[in-house]
Amino acid sequence: MITFSNDDARKLFLSAQGFEGKRTQRNSKPAELEKVMNTMKVVQLDAVPIVVRSQYLPFFSRLGKYDMSLYEQIAYKHDKWFELWAHEASIAPSINEPFFRLLKQRAKRGDTWKGLYEVATQEPEYVKKVLNEVKRRGPLEAKELSDPRYTNQSGWGSRSVGQLALNWLYRIGELGIRRGANFEKKYDIISNIVPQEILALRTPSEEESLKKLFFWAIEAMGVASERDIRDYFRVRSPNTINLLQEMEEEGVTSEVKVEGWGRIAYTAKDVDAPKRISSSCLLSPFDPIIWNRERLKRIFNFDYKLEIYKPASKRQFGYYVLPFMHHGQIVGRVDLANRRTVSELEVLAAYCEPSYDKVLVAEAMWQELTLLAAFVGCSTVKVNRRGNLSQQLSRQGKGA
């Protein structure tokens, strides 16, 4: 059995995620965005716009400069990508839709949020009415339904039974989602979103789907433990180990060891770790590199928690903190806010990880912040005095 060092595992991960190439100084083309999507397999969505909506950042981290309207065109005009629930609310290549039907079939059996299943089982006639209305009038937001059935619920819950019905129909694959100018959900029948020639493809068996999803997860991570593989698309199966063993017997994957992991890992057949990863970039909190916190700690020795939902007084690093990767290592983090009214990217706090040179990290981070500022439409970068890197980063700004 081949044994990789943890450093090899890190390089394999970054290479598999599209960080081996150089970022461009020109605007990337649609085909380049599509290639990055095919590499990641899935991109997590998030509505928080404090810097820029999260789904735009993984492409920027890997490609550099591009026009964000290309994302909208590929996803919502040309229908090459479609929204689905895989890992979390996500977007993925439409061509892969047949293998995700497994998740929709499971949702129909109740493997989904309790409130959605309750609406489906307790209000079937209402759900049918909502579906028929979308067929007649769609695409529609929940508030545009003729009978949205508003509730008095506050907080993060659905504001209407209509929203629950629409989300149920989305989870089981009857409806899909387009996005409005402000990221609002507009539900439409799935055949208006995923091309008909893809919907007409045979539905794979559960075993075929699981093996395909597991293989895509391995491809996207380079090398991965069984738990990593299940987490990538959030696909559970009591038969995971047997299926992974079958994939190895079929010559699709290989079992390997990674020093320090203490568990069997898997790779696609005949992979080699690159000698060097030189990528430097800021990473979304929802980037595939970041979203599995245990794997992130294991491979990069980097502890990260999303603190959006904590009171300000209890946050350690900040509200919307982006990890900073330099030459393939995560060496710092920065809490950012896009002050659109004054065209300013504000650094609320900046931190360097222990054992790294603050001056070198600040220099590399400043370069990345200026690139990000231009990407999100800001003309200046302002650095506040919070964090152990803020002083060095401020000096970089003054010397620019």
DSSP string spanning 103-155? HHHHHHTT-S-HHHHHHHHH-HHHHHHHHHHHHHH-SB-GGGSS---B----T
Contacts of residue 253, defined as CB under 8 A and 6 or more positions apart, other chains included, come to 215, 218, 244, 247, 266, 267, 268, 269
Give the rounded percent of residues in the chain with a pLDDT score beyond 90: 89
Q: What angle do CA 39, 42, 46 make, to 5 degrees?
A: 130
Is 312 in the same domain as 185? no
Domain that holds residue 44: 28-199
Q: End of a domain among 169, 199, 229?
A: 199
Give me the pLDDT at residue 1, please.
84
* Structure tokens that stand for 334 in this block: 């920065």
Is 181 in the same domain as 318? no
pLDDT digits (tens, 9 = 90+) for 76-123: 999 999 999 998 999 999 999 999 999 999 999 999 999 999 999 999
Of 63, 93, 43, 85, the C-alpha closest to 290 is 43
Is 192 in the same domain as 308? no
Mean pLDDT of 146-165: 80
Is 326 in the same domain as 195? no
Give me the pLDDT at residue 23, please.
84
pTM of the predicted model, to two decimals?
0.95
Give me the pLDDT at residue 400, please.
62
Is 56 in the same domain as 180? yes
Helices (H) and strands (E) in the chain, counts: 15, 14
> Based on the structure, what is the number of domains in the chain?
2
Separation of CA 82 from chain center: 13
Helix, strand, or coil (residue 240): helix
Position 12 in a domain: no
Mean pLDDT of 364-387: 96
Give me the pLDDT at residue 148, please.
92
Is 54 in the same domain as 195? yes
Position 171 in a domain: yes
Is 57 in the same domain as 173? yes
| AA letter at 319 | Y
C-beta of residue 287 within 8 angstroms of C-beta of residue 57: yes
pLDDT digits (tens, 9 = 90+) for 366-377: 999 999 999 999
Position 261 in a domain: no
Is 55 in the same domain as 172? yes
On the question of pLDDT at 62 being above 90, the answer is: yes
pLDDT digits (tens, 9 = 90+) for 328-345: 999 999 999 999 999 999
- Chain-wide mean pLDDT for the chain? 94
Is 163 in the same domain as 311? no
Is 187 in the same domain as 313? no
Position 9 in a domain: no
- CATH number (domain holding residue 391): 3.40.630.30
Position 4 in a domain: no
On the question of pLDDT at 30 being above 80, the answer is: yes
Give me the pLDDT at residue 180, please.
84
Position 236 in a domain: no
Q: End of a domain among 199, 214, 247?
A: 199
On the question of pLDDT at 14 being above 70, the answer is: yes
Position 370 in a domain: yes
On the question of pLDDT at 154 being above 60, the answer is: no
Give me the pLDDT at residue 153, please.
64
Position 223 in a domain: no
Distance CA 218, CA 226 (A): 9
Give me the pLDDT at residue 375, please.
96
Is 49 in the same domain as 185? yes
pLDDT digits (tens, 9 = 90+) for 240-299: 999 999 999 999 999 999 999 999 999 998 888 888 888 899 999 999 999 999 999 999
Give me the pLDDT at residue 157, please.
57
Distance CA 302, CA 259 (A): 17
Q: What angle do CA 75, 76, 82 make, to 5 degrees?
A: 55
Give me the pLDDT at residue 272, please.
84
Q: End of a domain among 180, 199, 218?
A: 199
